[in-house]
Amino acid sequence: MVGPNDDLEHTLSLLDRHEFWALPVCEEDGRYLGFIVKTDILARYRRQLIQESEA
C-alpha cells in the first residue's frame, strides 16, 4: 500500500521488490483512493525523459 504523496521511486521499488504489477493507494486513515500500476510509473518517467531531452 502506498499513499497519494509517496515518491514514485519508492513505489516502483516496492513493486519490483515484491514482484507486483499494482499497489493500492490509500489515505493515512486507510481510505482507499485507487491503485497504481507499474506501467503508469514507467509512462510518467518516459514523458519526463522526453520533456528533458527536448529542453
pLDDT tens-digit readout, 1-54? 999 999 988 999 999 999 999 999 999 999 999 999 999 999 988 999 999 999
**37 occurs within a structural domain:** yes
- Confidence at 55, pLDDT banded by 50, 70, 90: confident
Range of the domain at 33: 8-54
Determine the Cα–Cα distance for residues 37 and 48; give it in Å rounded to an integer: 17
Note the pLDDT of residue 14: 94
* Residue 37, pLDDT score: 96
Question: Using CA atoms, how far apart are residues 3 and 30, in angstroms rounded to an integer?
Answer: 9
Residue 35 lies in a domain: yes
All three cell numbers of 12, joined, read 516502483
Number of domains the chain contains: 1
Is position 2 within any domain? no
Confidence at residue 5, expressed as pLDDT on a 0 to 100 scale: 94
Q: What is the pLDDT of residue 18?
A: 94
